[in-house]
Structure 1
Amino acid sequence: MDQFDVAVVGLGVLGSGAAYYAAKKGAKVIAFEQFELGHVHGASHDTSRIVRTSNFTPELVALAKSAYKDWAELEKAAGQKLLTITGGVVFFPEEPNAPALASDFTKSLDTNDVPYELLDSREVKDRWPQFQIPENVSTVYTADTGIAHASRAVSTFQTLARTHGAILKDQTRVDRIIPKAAGTGAVVIKTSKGQFQAAKVILATDAWINKLLGPLGTHIPVSVMQEQVTYFKPTESANFESDRFPVWIWNGATCYYGFPCYGEPTIKAARDTSNNFMTPEQRTYVHSPYLLNQLSTFLGSFIPDKARQTLRTVTCQYSITPDRQFVISPLENHPDIIVGLGAAHAFKFAPAFGRVLAELAVDGTTKEDISKFGIPTSATHSSKL
């Protein structure tokens, strides 16, 4: 068997990023994807994801600031644009069971010197008359918020990884990881197409993580659910172009988020964490009419437009860790095996996330603060974006 420095399992955006950065550092890399590259079975497909530095957690704000630098370097390396900066608003209504206040949100921004504006409902209405929000809503605006092109970012990581010598094997299911035994120098990766060896293994397998961790004596509490996003055709799409309408998040008791027009005359919106629990094998790929009606009803009062048309709904898969915390950590009992889990909100961090996984695998350390991103033990989770 050929000996590799780093093996990556899972080629969604995080695994693809890890493969690229490890290969860029000069490591001999092999990576495995159980489906075809660019598949729709996980959480990295479709057109757009929100990018922002704003977040409730100071450690995530700091990582996001690093990710913006990595995004810029990735765009330069690829010779193409991956981010579109639109500005973004996060709405904090005063309603029962709302998860947080605007002041909770801005604390982490202040800690990391991220500029923002705190707007009242009239200021929001003056700037973006498309929104119809009540008087008791506080709004945080950050100018650096925008959109990442999802599928293009994934394919860019994969193309650059191959450019740096990485071998990417799609349609290759990893069935088991056998850790280094005493007197051996390699981890064995058993796949549907043979066995491979590597000094370090990065597991970026999202909803499938525990299938590989179980035989290693580790279980991460992960809640898997099918989610969905819907594209709508506004009556006047010009009013929703990215220079006239921001990315938005409604941080109420039920959380919603949405995008301006991006590549087509539609707006995209969704509910976050609808708790449609399942396993990957149980996933139907059929959207829920109930959730679509709930979203449409919310948008009817939030962004009024009686003639707006519903065009299509796309499903995706969320894998939620306790408190939606990232996992970027070697296994305690098997430190040559490194886990990367994004808790269904990692796309905005993808270049930094992948780079850190590669640094842990190649260098054994990283300068980023990942002290809060260890292997979780709690089974609770929140619905904060």
Structure 2
Amino acid sequence: MNVNTGTETFDVIVVGLGGLGSATAWRLAAAGQRVLGLEQFEFGHDRGASHDTSRILRHSYHRPDYVRLTKDAYEDWAHLEQEAGRQFVTRTGGIDLCPPDSSLPLDDYWRSLSAEGISYELLDADEVRGRWSQIAVPDGTTALYQERTSIVPAARSTAAMQQLAVAAGARLRDNAPVTGIRHGANGVEVVTEQARYSAGKVVLCTDAWANTLLRPLGWDIPLTTLEEQVTYFEPADPSRFAPEVFPIWIWLDDPCFYGFPTYGEATVKAGQDCGGPEVGPDRRSGVTDPALLDRLSRFMGERFPQSGRAIRSKRCLYTLTPDRDFVLGPVPGAERVLVGLGAAHAFKFAPTLGRMLSALVQDASLATTEPYTTFRLDRPALTDRDHPVNWMT
């Protein structure tokens, strides 16, 4: 294919327009930057991690720094709602369920919430059963309930952030895979199959495809990509799983499961965290995995016996760092290129991370401040190949 030799120039080019990239393009354009956004597939595609319906927005995290970041997340989702003129946050409350002898005890969660002044309730098994008879927990189970836990819509809010970006002056192009990036002292050249572009800064929000563009710059983040599966179940009485009466839940054990009340239809959605097979971004099945479906269905039948039969499953990609912390910052030695990567738990933070990346593009000195330093590319978890793997969130 012929490449257009005429080079268009922008202040910033954002590569990858899932939730995080779309948020970044929006916030940069709203700040007056000349922005080009490039997406390798069609807008709204299902090959990554920003498609389908529901995602969890919650305060409950295992570390105080993440709890602090969730405070910003709630504010940034409210800002998105205000700017878009639409509601995206549906409050349901959320319960973290910890069975006896769990490998993921609740202590880190409630201590982190306490450290940040977030209210919560600790419940025993009888209290869980008394409040939600839909949940069958074994004796000895402990639980943490947090009232602000909510659902946010993945595909719908990503599209809204793209619309806001365009309204603010950004140019967004789909079906425009980037084939090369050249970093220079005065700017960055970005090459696609159709054209060449130049910009002062480039932000890579390419998730599972990150290393394809980072390796020529001398970086290779140790990423593990899993093909996960969520399944929708059809309860006989959907009203018992409505958001007004049934919470988002997380089963804190190994394996770890999670699920939602009904949302937009008379089904409940559930999945296993980090349970899928390892794949490559362009080497995946895209079809229902019977073993994953059987494992989840048996769990749902035991712990949520009224959830009904499985009616469909969907696949998505989890792109994990060894410590499951985000990647958020400039590429050392190629500082005009920045990376935003969500480590398979970032959609709740998408408006926040987009705002943070936008701020970092405009003020490089922020890279030496918290929380950016926690998520830098040259931290030990990403440079020490023997660093232990911990995917707990």
TM over 0.5: yes
| C-alpha distance in 2 between matches for 1:378 and 1:135 | 42
One-letter identity of the residue aligned with 2:100: E
**What are the equivalent positions in structure 2 for 1:146-185 lying under 5 Å apart?**
146-181=150-185, 185=186
Aligned residue for 1:310? 310
**What are the equivalent positions in structure 2 for 1:99-114 lying under 5 Å apart?**
99-114=103-118
3-state SS in 2 of match to 1:60: helix
Aligned residue for 1:246? 247
- Match among 82, 86, 92 for residue 86 of structure 1: 92
One-letter identity of the residue aligned with 1:270: G
One-letter identity of the residue aligned with 1:370: Y
Deviations 1:92-142 (A, max 9, x none): 1223xx332111111111111111111111111111110010121110111
Structure 1 unaligned blocks of 5 or more: none
Shift of 1:381: 2.8
Work out whether residues 228 and 316 of structure 1, in 8 Å CA contact, stay in contact via their aligned partners in 2: yes
One-letter identity of the residue aligned with 1:114: I
3-state SS in 2 of match to 1:322: coil
- Match among 33, 36, 40 for residue 42 of structure 2: 36
| C-alpha distance in 2 between matches for 1:215 and 1:353 | 25
**What are the equivalent positions in structure 2 for 1:229-240 lying under 5 Å apart?**
229-240=230-241
Work out whether residues 63 and 108 of structure 2, in 8 Å CA contact, stay in contact via their aligned partners in 1: no
Work out whether residues 242 and 262 of structure 1, in 8 Å CA contact, stay in contact via their aligned partners in 2: yes
3-state SS in 1 of match to 2:42: coil
**What are the equivalent positions in structure 2 for 1:1-385 lying under 5 Å apart?**
1-95=7-101, 98-181=102-185, 185-305=186-306, 308-366=308-366, 369-375=371-377, 376-378=382-384, 380-385=388-393
Deviations 1:351-380 (A, max 9, x none): 101110111112325576222111122454
Work out whether residues 33 and 169 of structure 1, in 8 Å CA contact, stay in contact via their aligned partners in 2: yes
C-alpha change, 1:275 and 1:310, in structure 2 (3 Å) is: closer
Shift of 1:69: 0.3
C-alpha change, 1:62 and 1:283, in structure 2 (3 Å) is: same
* Matched positions, count: 379
| C-alpha distance in 2 between matches for 1:54 and 1:116 | 9
| C-alpha distance in 2 between matches for 1:68 and 1:273 | 25
| C-alpha distance in 2 between matches for 1:365 and 1:34 | 31
C-alpha change, 1:378 and 1:230, in structure 2 (3 Å) is: farther
Work out whether residues 234 and 309 of structure 2, in 8 Å CA contact, stay in contact via their aligned partners in 1: yes
Q: Which runs of 4+ in 1 moved over 4 A?
A: 365-368
Work out whether residues 227 and 318 of structure 1, in 8 Å CA contact, stay in contact via their aligned partners in 2: yes
Deviations 1:208-264 (A, max 9, x none): 000000000001000011100000000110000000100000011110000000000
| C-alpha distance in 1 between matches for 2:344 and 2:175 | 23
3-state SS in 1 of match to 2:335: coil
3-state SS in 2 of match to 1:335: strand
Shift of 1:205: 0.2
| C-alpha distance in 2 between matches for 1:368 and 1:27 | 24
TM-score normalised according to structure 1 size: 0.96
Work out whether residues 322 and 378 of structure 1, in 8 Å CA contact, stay in contact via their aligned partners in 2: no
3-state SS in 2 of match to 1:371: helix
Structure 2 unaligned blocks of 5 or more: 1-6
Work out whether residues 8 and 196 of structure 2, in 8 Å CA contact, stay in contact via their aligned partners in 1: no
| C-alpha distance in 1 between matches for 2:365 and 2:74 | 21
3-state SS in 1 of match to 2:61: coil
Work out whether residues 319 and 344 of structure 1, in 8 Å CA contact, stay in contact via their aligned partners in 2: yes
3-state SS in 2 of match to 1:280: coil
One-letter identity of the residue aligned with 2:373: S
| C-alpha distance in 1 between matches for 2:365 and 2:359 | 6
3-state SS in 1 of match to 2:212: helix
One-letter identity of the residue aligned with 2:237: E
3-state SS in 1 of match to 2:298: helix
Work out whether residues 240 and 261 of structure 1, in 8 Å CA contact, stay in contact via their aligned partners in 2: yes
Cα-Cα RMSD:
1.3
Between the aligned residues of both structures, percent identity stands at 43
One-letter identity of the residue aligned with 2:351: P
